[in-house]
């Protein structure tokens, strides 16, 4: 595993309260990915949601195709495709095309579907989703990795001698990852197929409690299936808002933290990620006392990520900011700037030699300054001596 972390954002996205302009909201989602691209973030993961009103991207692949044309370097992943909602053949087929359109910048994150209200519209009961994900991922991975056709019939689709017609741009195919919150389904899937893992809500209490378990399950399952898993392909997702000072950060989140927490408590049926309290002060207390979020400075962010490295019991490959609208648009962009300016180079170590060079220059500054001064004075005297007499 590389000793340099990679960084990105997990963009569901959340737009609250639900009285926003959806056209402008989608534009801002595009702009935040463009901003990350300009700063030097490595990747952005785009979610799939179909109900609840706050998360308006229903097709992450379509959004990726849109934003890929407006960015240069950042890698773009589905965070996640809710695979039980789809026919795996068409997901594989669209992934191959998207791999070419993005010139190899696409990644595929898979999950069972986070919103039970989404699944309910398709007649899928929550008890079915994780088994369906395992079944569908096996079909999908066959389509991605084998030239042999596959025939299968499930409760949700039927395939007859199915195969994809387009080779991938990436060799052998785009990176595939499974998502996990607290259940072992994602880590089991990662181990079964030797794919990556995204631990969502890793800084929330439930996520922290199972963090080391996630990788233990993935490794154990990989061993059972004669596969290997790589910690470098493990992403952790955490909640943060950064400002110049902690006081400023706390003032910033008064804009939207209450609406975010209320949404998790009363709209989205995701019991794995539920804040406590009912007022802004309660939610701030929940975020800070439980360690669920960083609301502070870049130093606080660095400390949180270092704690996660310890809790992961062996390290991980990338940290993803959980994108949100806790602060107004300008403060949110400044949060990304601060993270990119100070947190990313701390862990990537891209400013290590700059710091070393500065320390060396400081250590020899007085001696060299005197030598420079003496040299300038000597040259001035030499010039004066050689100048024609008037």
Q: What is the pLDDT of residue 1?
A: 67
Tokens 């500065």 belong to 358
pLDDT at residue 388 in the model: 81
Q: What pLDDT does residue 115 have?
A: 92
C-alpha span between 310 and 107 (Å, rounded): 27
pLDDT at 264: 92
What is this structure's pTM?
0.94
What are the pLDDT digits (tens) for 227-263?
A: 999 999 999 999 999 999 999 999 999 999 999 999 9
Provide the pLDDT for residue 193.
98
pLDDT in tens, 111-147: 999 899 999 999 999 999 999 999 999 999 999 999 9
Q: For the chain, which residues score pLDDT lower than 50?
A: none
Angle subtended at Cα 119 by Cα 142 and Cα 325, rounded to the nearest 5 degrees? 100
- Contact in structure between 104 and 133 (CB atoms under 8 Å): no
Instruction: Of 137, 304, 336, give the one whose Cα is nearest residue 236.
Output: 304
How many CA atoms are closer than 13 Å to the CA of 336, on its beta-carbon side? 29
What's the pLDDT score for residue 201? 76
Measured distance between the N- and C-terminal CA atoms of the chain, rounded to whole angstroms: 74
């Amino acid at each position: 595993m590389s000793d340099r972390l990679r960084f990105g954002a997990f963009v569901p996205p959340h737009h609250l309260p639900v009285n926003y302009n959806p056209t402008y909201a989608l534009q801002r989602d595009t702009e935040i990915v463009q901003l990350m691209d300009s700063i030097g973030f490595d990747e952005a993961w785009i979610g799939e949601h179909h109900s609840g009103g706050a998360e308006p991207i229903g097709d992450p692949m379509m959004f990726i195709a849109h934003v890929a044309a407006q960015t240069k370097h950042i890698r773009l992943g589905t965070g996640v495709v809710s695979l039980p909602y789809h026919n795996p053949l068409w997901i594989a087929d669209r992934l191959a095309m998207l791999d070419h359109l993005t010139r190899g910048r696409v990644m595929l994150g898979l999950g069972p579907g986070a919103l039970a209200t989404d699944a309910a519209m398709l007649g899928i009961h929550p008890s079915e989703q994780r088994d369906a994900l395992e079944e569908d991922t096996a079909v999908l991975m066959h389509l991605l990795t084998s030239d042999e056709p596959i025939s299968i019939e499930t409760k949700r689709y039927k395939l007859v001698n199915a195969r994809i017609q387009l080779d991938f741009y990436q060799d052998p195919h785009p990176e595939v990852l499974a998502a996990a919150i607290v259940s072992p389904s994602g880590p089991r899937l990662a181990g079964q197929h030797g794919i990556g893992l995204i631990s969502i809500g890793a800084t929330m209490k439930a996520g922290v409690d199972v963090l080391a378990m996630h990788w233990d399950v993935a490794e154990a399952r990989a061993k059972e299936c004669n596969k290997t898993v790589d910690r470098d392909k493990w992403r952790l997702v955490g909640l943060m808002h950064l400002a110049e000072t902690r006081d400023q950060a706390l003032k910033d989140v008064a804009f939207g933290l209450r609406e975010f927490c209320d949404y998790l408590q009363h709209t989205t049926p995701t019991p794995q990620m539920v804040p406590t309290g009912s007022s802004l002060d309660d939610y701030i207390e929940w975020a800070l006392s439980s360690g669920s979020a960083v609301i502070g400075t870049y130093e606080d962010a660095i400390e949180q990520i270092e704690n996660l490295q310890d809790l992961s019991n062996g390290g991980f490959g990338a940290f993803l900011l959980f994108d949100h609208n806790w602060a107004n648009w300008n403060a949110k962009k400044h949060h990304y700037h601060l993270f990119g300016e100070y947190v990313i180079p701390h862990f990537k170590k891209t400013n290590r030699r700059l710091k070393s060079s500065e320390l060396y220059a400081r250590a020899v500054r007085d001696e060299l300054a005197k030598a420079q001064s003496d040299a300038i004075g000597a040259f001035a005297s030499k010039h004066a001596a050689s100048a024609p007499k008037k």
